[in-house]
Structure 1
Amino acid sequence: MNIKRPLCLFTVSFTLGILLVSSIGLNPFLLISSIMLLSIICFFKKLGNLKNVIFISLSFFIMGGMLFYNAEYRYTGSFNSYYDNPIEVRGFIDSEVQNSEDGKSNFILQTESVIYKNKTFKVKNKIMVYVNNFNIKIGYRTKIGFTGVVEKPKPATNPGGFDYRRYLASIGISGRIYLQGTSDIQVTGQKGGGYLHRIGYAIKNKVLDIISYSLDKNQAGLLEGMLIGYKDGLDENAFTAFSKAGLTHIMVASGMNVAFIILPFTFIFKKLRLSSFKANIITIFVLVLFVFVTGFSASVVRAVIMGIIILAGRIIMREPEIYTSISASALILLIINPYTLFDIGFQLSFGATLSLVMFYPQIKSFTECKYIPNIISDTLAATIAAQLGVIPITLYYFNNFSTFSIISNILVVPLVEFVTIIGFIMVFAGLLNIYLAVIIGYINNTFLSFILFVTEVTSKIPFALLKLPTPSLGMVLFYYLLIIYIFKARNYFKAKKYTKHLKIAIIMLIIILFGGRALLPKPLEITFLDVGQGDSTYIRTAHGKKILIDGGGREANSKSKFDIGESVMVPYILDRGTKRVDIVIASHGHSDHTEGLEAVLRELSVGTVIVPETDGRGFEKIKKICKEKNIPVLKCKQGDIINLDKETVFEVLNPLPYKLDTLAQEDLNESSLVLKLVYKNVKVLLTGDSGIPSEERMLKQGLDLKADIIKVGHHGSPGSSSNDYIMAVKPKYGVVSVGRNNFGHPSQFVIDILEKNGAKLFRTDENGAVIATSYGNGFNISLMMP
């Protein structure tokens, strides 16, 4: 039995090896691999002609896992002995120095040695260096040394959150270091080599100079992205508009650019009567150089590898097969760095390419009509085909679905080819005479302005971009199997008369993916989120009620522009597979608790908002949004009971009615809602920022404070969590929601009290999100960063 396209099978096997080691670690992977190998050996004779294919596939599977493990050590483990310690680093700059207008700069440093505790160690890896007050001339391959503290990149600190460590590993970086100024940097010489990089940087900068001189700012920024994938020319608002319009794919260099390089060179070399071998070799060199110019973006590398395979096929007089070419390009990228598999650009590029190859012909047959111009039907078919492949990826990572992407693509995509061609002509003209480039730029400016106009208009249409819940991996798998069946496999199964068996298989798959989970009993789940120096707790009861207490935010008078609600809270809730929160609770009116709730209220469906009974200080923005969206706002005080479901309640222990509460009147922290969650035999005390005065009052009142878990008051401030209070609570676990701060939170005094009383302490700055689950008897605690 001959296997068609064996390289596709080997690439899939390699990928599965990476995924398995990433999920379960090396030792279980080796055990599974050994069992598979023994099984093959036992049944070797019975496998017939398949034995070689299976053996090679298993070899690729093992190789993928082992290479990933090696990359994991290299990119995330090689600095383990030095992280968070002052060390002297020596190496050379392995990128361009990126300068910003505020005097801050960054670059990638290829380390050669590390001096730690007066001993020199060879450490060859890459770190990202950030420098304030940058004022010296250094560049690519400059040899430097400095003393600093290398920070270990954090993994995702909240479930479904951005894994910064994995992202840096995907571009080969192991850590980052911050320097206050260039006075800390000692220049020790210049490293030789790196000639292709030097040429690539020179070409890129020349292209950017010509484009920026020849076009208006916004148009130049767009063309820079289209030609060489340079994204810094467009501001954040432009990126948002392109995302809403479903046009982000035109802002990056891709396969079309590679085609526009191959075709002109083929034409020129043919006119020059250059031999096919020499012409193809030169073109391959130009394509490799283009990779260096564009900075090794996944879409360009994929397209260039496929282009090189086509050109190599011409040299050896053999036409390459498209699926094999795609597999070869993926395999090469993954062998170079297995972490590339987790790069979103890699997934989008290959998802769109495979989808186009697989589904475009059939979709084109549906869109063809004598009343529709061919260029429109082509664009429509290509857009739908590409979207089919990337919709689950964009939903999984960004929760975005562009409702008008088909319309915007029909209007814009036919122009992209002309804009790109004219752009290349403009750049080449600029090399001869910059004023000639300006003249050509007038023509391109018109097309680029139209693209920007369409983008702006379609992005402002109501509901142009929908925020949708994150699909589960089971749903993503089912989606891909379904579209493959509809477009590729349905006719095959009909011809083989397997329709009945297929229907049974589909039903069984649905039951396995969705039915099994629905039948299993669900626990109470409480997630103390990492929101930096703020506070947020998400609760899902055993019966599915969803409650959010606080949403993090900036400290008062902070100048940070980071929106915790948009960047953390809304994505987290969508990652829970829902757009609805039944109850949102603001413990008190300080911004580090309420600010993140604003985006939740604006963008998601919220049933009820609960605040403490106070004079309303700090809740003005929340109340305004609730009024606009007709969300009821309830005030609670001591003695109230909040029923969450038939088995779960909140007992309100603080504050008193506002007119009677002198503590709340004097200090906003003391107005905090103190809630005791009760579910069967387990209890959790949620304290807001309440301090010792409120604690003493609750003790004097003889309230039942006993709880299995306490969310430690006021981020572990010494002004809360007195010894008497903790003795009354008798917690098994204490959770401190805290981030980088200048207040000394959590206080050693509070830590000692909790430990003295037998509570195991978790901190969101060190452990990431703390997740507590229970079926009603005791808690199981899991950590994002154990």
Structure 2
Amino acid sequence: MYLKDLLLKIQPFTIILFNLILGILSYNLNILNAGQLTLISISILIISLIALFKNTQKNLKIFLIILFSILTFFLGYSRAFLVKQKYQNLIDSISNKPIKIRGWVSSIEKTSHSYFKNKISIVLDSIKIDNQKIKTDYILRMHLALLDIKNFHIGQYLEIDNIKIKNNKSSKFLISKKSLPNLFLNKIKFQNCTKKNIKYITLIWLKIIVIRNKILKKLSNKFKFNTKNLFEYIFLGIKSENEHIDKIKQNMTYWGINHYLARSGLHLVLIIFTWRFFLKTIPFGYFAKQVILAFLSIVYSLLTIPSISFERALLSFIIYNICTIKKIPVNNMHIISMVCFITLFFNPYKLFLLDFQLSFCLTFALIVLREISIIKAISQKK
């Protein structure tokens, strides 16, 4: 009884999302080839059209759901194919060959490794190989043994010559992170470059990274060392490696509360509630307050390192805000399905990350449990 009522409440967008996921999985698991998929889809569509003409009003909604389900299935299949093909073509063309890269420094970290003590992340702008220049936006992480960090700064635009990238079999994980295989080197030779011929949007993003780094440094200097580590780890998503953090992680793992350290939607909710509390004291209208909350949330997200659960919470909050401002009825299942769809459309390989699976599956489970409790309450009243 409860299951039947629950199935009736499932939003069409959730069904469409399910087909997008099936499309991504079918490509990666090689369940069906493109010809078989086309044949099956055309057959389903013909049957649906026959049913539609027999009873137009009753079957129109079902026909549209089937049509969009087929389209999103192919969308998931094609997006998974295109994203992987783009990555694999780049790796095949540069692997085990001396290349020259250009990009900007996005992070500089000290690691707990006994030899490779420094890690630098570079957002690539271009790769040069055999007089051929390839434009790209992948991330390259370099673990270095001999490095003077004082020579580097966040937002620095540089060129590194004569490095070799090996082909890595764990392509799904790397694609989901938009990352090339990690490099482990003793040292690197680099030179600073002028920021000519760089896209305007890239220059804006570089400016945001530099401003973010300055703000974080000022905030960090106001805390004690231990407090600073926890603040950066939980609220800013900066996962620095040191003895203090390692000890806290071990203790939290022992007590089974290690998930509290992960920066998730809960932290965004806490911050939004804090802002909302202060906004109550300001005589602004409802619309203005919602716009301010959305703006502050976006600014906060730009100042932090992104994570899947945080992005899920931020997108959900923005969609919820738009619905409330436009006076559109809010449905939690619909919102989370939209967020999941957007996330997988831009990067289908996030589907294979454990973080993604836990974040969205738990959220869907909580929404389903809430719907079941509502159905139970209604049935008991009857």
Q: What range is the shorter-chain TM-score in?
A: 0.7 to 0.9
Residue 129 (structure 1) aligned to one of 135, 139, 142? 142
1:724-735 aligned at under 5 Å gives the runs none
Contact 1:105–1:131 (8 Å) recurs in 2: yes
Contact 2:156–2:192 (8 Å) recurs in 1: no
| Residue of structure 2 in register with 1:93 after alignment | 104
Residue 110 (structure 1) aligned to one of 113, 119, 124? 124
Residue 311 (structure 2) aligned to one of 276, 301, 304? 301
The answer as to 2:58 corresponding to 1:54 is no
Instruction: Identify if the C-alpha distance between structure 1 residues 40 and 113 changes in structure 2 by more than 3 Å, giving closer, same or farther.
Output: same
1:383-398 aligned at under 5 Å gives the runs none
Return the letter of the residue paired with 1:251. L
Contact 2:45–2:66 (8 Å) recurs in 1: no
Structure 1-normalised TM-score?
A: 0.41
Residue 20 (structure 2) aligned to one of 14, 22, 33? 14
Return the letter of the residue paired with 1:154. K
Instruction: Identify if the C-alpha distance between structure 1 residues 54 and 63 changes in structure 2 by more than 3 Å, giving closer, same or farther.
Output: same
Return the letter of the residue paired with 2:233. G
The answer as to 2:198 corresponding to 1:185 is no
| Residue of structure 2 in register with 1:142 after alignment | 157
RMSD: 2.9
Once residues 367 and 219 of structure 2 are traced to their aligned partners in structure 1, the CA distance between those partners, rounded to angstroms, is: 32
The answer as to 2:50 corresponding to 1:40 is no
Q: Deviations over 1:632-664 (max 9, x none)?
A: xxxxxxxxxxxxxxxxxxxxxxxxxxxxxxxxx
| Residue of structure 1 in register with 2:3 after alignment | none
Unaligned runs of 5+ in 2: 1-7, 53-58
Once residues 355 and 106 of structure 1 are traced to their aligned partners in structure 2, the CA distance between those partners, rounded to angstroms, is: 38
| Residue of structure 2 in register with 1:329 after alignment | 339
1:555-574 aligned at under 5 Å gives the runs none
Instruction: Identify if the C-alpha distance between structure 1 residues 299 and 187 changes in structure 2 by more than 3 Å, giving closer, same or farther.
Output: same
Once residues 95 and 287 of structure 1 are traced to their aligned partners in structure 2, the CA distance between those partners, rounded to angstroms, is: 21
Instruction: Identify if the C-alpha distance between structure 1 residues 57 and 361 changes in structure 2 by more than 3 Å, giving closer, same or farther.
Output: closer
Once residues 10 and 279 of structure 1 are traced to their aligned partners in structure 2, the CA distance between those partners, rounded to angstroms, is: 33
Unaligned runs of 5+ in 1: 156-164, 366-486, 493-786
Contact 2:100–2:161 (8 Å) recurs in 1: yes
Does the residue aligned with 2:267 lie in a helix, a strand or coil? Answer: helix
Tell me how far 1:289 sits from its aligned partner. 2.6
Once residues 233 and 119 of structure 2 are traced to their aligned partners in structure 1, the CA distance between those partners, rounded to angstroms, is: 22
Tell me how far 1:359 sits from its aligned partner. 2.9
Instruction: Identify if the C-alpha distance between structure 1 residues 37 and 361 changes in structure 2 by more than 3 Å, giving closer, same or farther.
Output: closer
Q: Deviations over 1:389-413 (max 9, x none)?
A: xxxxxxxxxxxxxxxxxxxxxxxxx
The answer as to 2:182 corresponding to 1:169 is no
Contact 1:299–1:346 (8 Å) recurs in 2: yes
| Residue of structure 1 in register with 2:291 after alignment | 281
Return the letter of the residue paired with 2:285. S
1:542-553 aligned at under 5 Å gives the runs none
Contact 1:83–1:150 (8 Å) recurs in 2: yes
1:193-212 aligned at under 5 Å gives the runs 193-194=204-205, 195-211=207-223
Q: Deviations over 1:298-357 (max 9, x none)?
A: 110001111111111121122421111111111111112111111111111112222233
Contact 1:310–1:319 (8 Å) recurs in 2: no
| Greater share of strand | 1
| Greater share of helix | 2
Once residues 196 and 235 of structure 1 are traced to their aligned partners in structure 2, the CA distance between those partners, rounded to angstroms, is: 27
Q: Which moved more, 1:141-150 or 1:234-243?
A: 234-243
Once residues 58 and 361 of structure 1 are traced to their aligned partners in structure 2, the CA distance between those partners, rounded to angstroms, is: 27
Tell me how far 1:203 sits from its aligned partner. 3.8
Instruction: Identify if the C-alpha distance between structure 1 residues 12 and 32 changes in structure 2 by more than 3 Å, giving closer, same or farther.
Output: same
Does the residue aligned with 2:311 lie in a helix, a strand or coil? Answer: helix
Residue 246 (structure 1) aligned to one of 256, 262, 278? 256
Does the residue aligned with 2:122 lie in a helix, a strand or coil? Answer: strand
Return the letter of the residue paired with 1:42. I
Instruction: Identify if the C-alpha distance between structure 1 residues 67 and 351 changes in structure 2 by more than 3 Å, giving closer, same or farther.
Output: same
Tell me how far 1:270 sits from its aligned partner. 4.2
Return the letter of the residue paired with 1:30. A
Once residues 228 and 141 of structure 2 are traced to their aligned partners in structure 1, the CA distance between those partners, rounded to angstroms, is: 28
Does the residue aligned with 1:175 lie in a helix, a strand or coil? Answer: coil
